[in-house]
Amino acid sequence: MFSFLRSLRLRLFIAKVQAELMAQCGDQPLVNKICQYPEIVADLDVIRQTAYYRKDSNAAFLSSCYVLGAALDVYYFSPADKKKCAALLAQRLAKARSDPHFSMRHFQIFGDLEDKLSEHLGDQTTD
């Protein structure tokens, strides 16, 4: 029973993250591919249980930023998928920067994601 409830809560959290991404891009196959990738599902489970922002009203936004950043490191995803993820992540980071208080509150998350994005964009220019 406990395992069932945990699984149900995880599915609900993943659905919130997927809805957040769907609102931004509308590409259901891409969103499903990213959010249902086993390593990302496992990471989302850890985030759902332990992240300091898990009960925040912006938890889905922050988690979807994480998912897009994590997708840049998955070799399974095509370069076209990674390019879409990078563009979506760049939009989200710009939105986060537009609110200085929010940006400063989560500076470590956004700093890591900006580093990952710039690293990915640097890798694209050398390919």
Domain boundaries, the chain: 2-126
Distance of CA 17 to the CA centre of its chain: 8
Q: What is the pLDDT of residues 36-68, one digit of tens each?
A: 999 999 999 999 989 888 888 888 999 999 999
What are the tokens at 8? 């149900």
The pLDDT of residue 3: 83
Q: Which pTM was predicted? A: 0.87
Helix (H) or strand (E) holding 69: helix 59-71
Q: Across residues 16-45, what is the average pLDDT?
A: 92
| Burial profile 85-118: b = 16 or more Cβ within 10 angstroms, e = fewer | bbebbbebbeebeeeeebbeebeebbeebbebbe
The pLDDT of residue 51: 84
